[in-house]
Amino acid sequence: GENVEQHPSTLSVQEGDSAVIKCTYSDSASNYFPWYKQELGKRPQLIIDIRSNVGEKKDQRIAVTLNKTAKHFSLHITETQPEDSAVYFCAARTENTGNQFYFGTGTSLTVIP
């Protein structure tokens, strides 16, 4: 089955700097890659997603890039703010396993004011 790896597991940045979180996947049939933000004790919230026919997608301060050849995708957060502090999860969905999603192990991001 699909295997999603996520790095780093923890990340600290100064307010205003950029943060980058990277994920790799193993199944070339994976075609949809969402990113979730989870604050302590709350539900994971979808923040951005990308499909396999697109190389990059941007929404204000967040962007996601996808390299299908290398089987990796990254989350970029620019001009970080303290409220960006949370755990971020990447995920991959593979068409041939129906609607099953495979999650990375999460990155705990701390933005230092």
Partner 1 sequence: AAGVIQSPRHLIKEKRETATLKCYPIPRHDTVYWYQQGPGQDPQFLISFYEKMQSDKGSIPDRFSAQQFSDYHSELNMSSLELGDSALYFCASSSGQSAQFFGPGTRLTVL
- Rounded Cα–Cα distance for residues 78 and 24 (Å): 21
- Would you put residue 47 in left (φ > 0), alpha (ψ -120 to 50) or beta? alpha
The interface region with partner 1, picked from 18-26, 60-68, 77-85, 93-101 by CB under 8 A, is 93-101
64, with CB counted inside 10 A (0-12, 13-18, 19+), is buried
Of 39 and 79, which CB lies nearer to partner 1 in the complex structure? 39
Q: How long, in residues, is the chain?
A: 113
Residues 61-80 that bind partner 1 (CB under 8 A): none
Candidate segments 18-26, 34-42, 58-66, 78-86, binder of partner 1 by CB under 8 A: 34-42
Six-digit token string for 39: 């604050």
Binding window for partner 1 (CB under 8 A); candidates: 14-22, 60-68, 70-78, 100-108: 100-108
Structure tokens of 96?
Answer: 């041939």
Report the residue number, 51 or 58, with the smaller CB distance to partner 1. 51
Binding region for partner 1 (CB under 8 A): 32, 34, 36, 41-46, 49, 51, 89, 91, 97-101, 103-106
